[in-house]
A and B are shown apart, each in its own frame.
Chain A
């Protein structure tokens, strides 16, 4: 596949911008020659048709949710309704400048205000900020809130954050960025937090715990109330990672489980697309004791007017240039309006039913280390297959069958993990087909292992040499060498 820099440079294609209706100015006269660019950036001048073909060809090398099942555990790769895309292109939204007066921004501010209200209701918590723009950004905001809370209480010695060993990597990284140290809590043989191990760590140096609910094994912490109570009794706070909210939305609320901070992944739960890795949106809900510390500006209603309120002296400050990813919020709002309460309840019902249906079937073929009722996802192991077949081989063979592999090698507490989240937008037929493929691969592992070792052979490229990519990184186009 050509990169665009492989195309021949030609004279300017032009035609996008009109010629100037004001007198042209010579840049070096206006700015002085030392400020003016000496060498033009090497960007090819192409015809529009060339550009369209180049990126259309690239798009065909990708696999998206519209291509088929995308069972990436923890990522909730569900269908993204087309309406939600179209409404983000409405002129009143795309053309809104974030510095325009409040009086001229009532449509955009009003939508954000309404969405915060709905998210507050879904979380059962006291207040919501829409500023964080990704799950990890929500986590970081949450850790900032922890830090400010203990500063205000005069307890700067609370510097440790507890994390289950099944936690996603962003959790410890977020805690560290906010200046906390991390202590891992082991899981028990049921895959949930070991209460004794937790209690042993709880002391006056603990700021709190970060939990993923349900956890990354897809298991709901049945002792969630004991866990949050124990942390609160020790003077700590409870952070809930909301990546897996689609497993209980519409029937249970983190606020009723003892959460002090809860982040939403609007780009997972509320069906805004992932965009090949972003942008997302990581709205954060908090319990009453943390409200004063939320990022500024707050979006508040005064009479009939929605206002930006900066006057919150205890706030942690801002975590984004403006008000978060507005156009992602628009998609989430449209999705919520379409679903309503009944739809939200149907989301969790189908997410959990689909996962349990697949789990029951696939555990006959692959080891299921934690064999119990799951929520929206479950974790199989690729261990124990003959002929040195690894989970990576299974994943690559799935590509040859034309489906996206699950999340692999995570969570770390399962060897050769295959973390499967079918999502609620797959139907039974799709699940059956996916199961049949995984079953066929298990047969191939015994009978024709080379099919797995060599996979993929039907993708745009075969397995890529990661070692070379790491040892001799080529991170930009080698103009000078080509």
Chain B
């Protein structure tokens, strides 16, 4: 077995040196009854060459990757600069463990410190953790945290939250005994937050939301009183949009996939989590701090660990241990590679291309935008013909468009959600217009 270095002779000698007769003796503490029931998988070992062939066949059977994507809803077809993969491919990063021994983990720790700084810069918040599993679990943790602070056992949630966030939040809230109260949206597609109840620990809004519409957050924090404002963000859009921190958000979470991660069939993803400095003791997850070593030289180490499960056990702020560290490194390298200017540029490209398509759609008969609120790179189109028919024509032309049933689950009938990233060309967008316009 090429991954296991001991040769038969080694094993014999090792057994002898520990006074054991056989390998089986090493497993004599497992009850015979258990060993007797064992059944193998019926799987023959394969060579590297065969496994590579097998995996390549599976990858090639994934037709979605060959189409032109208009899919969004939290995961987007953004360009990943080549350098990101090369840095992530350094085994000093990807084969290291959680940095419990900081003296030989300064690479990971420094990058995490940079990541936390970048998340705060993007979101306009004071502190950020070193990552959560994904945007949805980050939101669930944010709601648990808000309820630890305000303890009202109820949290208001905008009904235009992306369903995958809502589903995961619902599971965590059910188990924690927190009631979720829906807040409806208006004709612009925005959350009607003036209709949110007041006796809640927090209000969750997403911007841009499930319809791609950018929420109007001005004045919201003041209207909430001491209810915590939890904003779910789209980090790439923050290259252009005023950050949630500027509107007084208490907790900002988001899906970080847009920052240099492949779509990867939805995982691994990257949960972003940022909050105000005053809530550090309630923060879930790992956080890295700057300190000095015995010679007074600057260095980095895990900080505020008394919140965490390995110290606080059942009283920890979360059970999270393994997070998305390597994905956080990807986001860090991504942001540093493109810089503030590149981030602005890519965000403006998304805005321009999405609006180019939306404006074109506005000129077509039988199609219009479902909501009049401002949007970034994603919008909802309402059709007079059945949405499934329009979708089929787009699919026949090589485009990936989402099944309309998710929008239907949000009460938006006969509509398609369309996302346009910097990767889409004018030629592709013109083709979308001609297909939707009924021309061949």
Contacts and interface: CB of A to CB of B under 8 A. Distances in A.
B101 A340 contact: no
A141 B14 CA distance: 40
Contacts of A88: 264
Interface string B41-80: 1111111101110111111111111110101011101010
A45 interface: yes
Nearest to A140: B319
Given A251-B38, A252-B30, A341-B42, A110 B340 contact: no
A468 B292 contact: yes
B320 A136 contact: yes
A264 interface: no
B291 A98 contact: no
A475 B112 CA distance: 10
B296 to A, nearest CB: 9
Nearest to A318: B167
A366 B225 CA distance: 60
A152 interface: no
* Nearest 10 interchain pairs by C-beta: A322-B266, A12-B341, A98-B266, A275-B326, A92-B59, A107-B61, A427-B5, A95-B65, A45-B339, A107-B62
Given A22-B429, A320-B136, A428-B13, A350 B289 contact: no
Interface in A418-469: 424-428, 430, 454, 456, 459-466, 468-469
Contacts of A169: 308-313, 316, 321
Contacts of B226: none
B50 to A, nearest CB: 8
A14 interface: yes
17 contacts: A3-B113, A63-B104, A93-B265, A170-B319, A172-B309, A178-B176, A273-B94, A275-B327, A279-B324, A279-B327, A321-B164, A321-B267, A350-B11, A464-B291, A469-B290, A475-B288, A475-B289
A51 B84 CA distance: 10
A134 B113 CA distance: 22
Contacts, number: 690
Interface in A42-71: 42-46, 48, 51-52, 54-56, 58-67, 70
Contacts of B30: 220, 222, 248, 251-252
A118 B41 CA distance: 7
Name the residue in A83, A98, A339 with the highest tally of chain B Cβ atoms < 10 Å from its Cβ. A98
B95 to A, nearest CB: 4
Contacts of A95: 62, 64-66, 77, 262-263
A175 B318 CA distance: 11
A184 B211 CA distance: 48
Contacts of A464: 102-103, 291-293, 299-301
B278 interface: no
A289 B341 CA distance: 56
A182 B314 contact: yes
Interface in A86-136: 86-101, 103-108, 110-111, 118, 121-122, 124, 133-136
B249 to A, nearest CB: 15
A23 B356 contact: yes
Contact of A459 (B97, B104, B136): B104
B31 A222 contact: yes
A92 B58 contact: yes
Interface in B234-284: 238-243, 246, 255, 262-269, 280
Contacts of B117: 3, 5, 476-477
Interface string A236-255: 00000000000010111100
A35 interface: yes
B104 A97 contact: no
A396 B102 CA distance: 10
B95 A277 contact: no
Contacts of B342: 12-14, 16-17, 45
Interface string B99-143: 111111111101101101110111000111011011111000000
B240 A37 contact: yes
Contact of B171 (A118, A318, A341): A318
Given A30-B351, A35-B214, A248-B27, A1 B97 contact: no
A37 B319 contact: no
B205 to A, nearest CB: 14
A83 B55 CA distance: 10
Nearest to B326: A275
Contact of B338 (A16, A58, A64, A97): A16
Given A5-B117, A104-B67, A173 B316 contact: yes
Contact of A63 (B92, B113, B295, B304): B92
B64 A105 contact: yes
Given A20-B348, A320-B168, A464-B291, 18 more contacts: A12-B339, A22-B353, A22-B429, A30-B374, A58-B106, A91-B59, A92-B62, A275-B325, A277-B98, A326-B267, A337-B43, A338-B45, A341-B45, A349-B11, A463-B293, A464-B301, A474-B289, A475-B289
A37 B238 contact: yes
Nearest to A426: B5
A1 B106 contact: yes
A40 interface: yes
A239 B292 CA distance: 42
Contact of A256 (B5, B37, B45, B267): B37
A85 B94 contact: yes
Name the residue in B165, B242, B335 with the highest tally of chain A Cβ atoms < 10 Å from its Cβ. B242
Contacts of B369: none
Given A65-B95, A474-B290, A476-B117, A48 B337 contact: yes
B422 A105 contact: no
B289 A425 contact: no
Contact of A34 (B118, B242, B352, B402): B242
B425 interface: yes
Contacts of A340: 41, 43-46
A97 B304 contact: no
B110 A90 contact: no
B363 interface: no
A405 to B, nearest CB: 6
A399 B100 CA distance: 13
Nearest to B319: A173
Interface stretch (A72-80, A200-208, A381-389): A72-80
Contacts of A344: 41
A352 to B, nearest CB: 5
A323 interface: yes
Contacts of A463: 103, 293-294
A46 B339 contact: yes
B81 interface: yes
Contact of A325 (B40, B114, B268, B395): B268
Contacts of B384: none
A470 B303 contact: yes
A430 to B, nearest CB: 8
B175 A144 contact: yes
Contact of A473 (B20, B47, B304): B304
Contact of B64 (A96, A280, A348): A96
B246 A38 contact: yes
A276 interface: yes
Given A87-B52, A94-B262, A317-B168, A34 B46 contact: no
A413 interface: no
Nearest to B89: A85
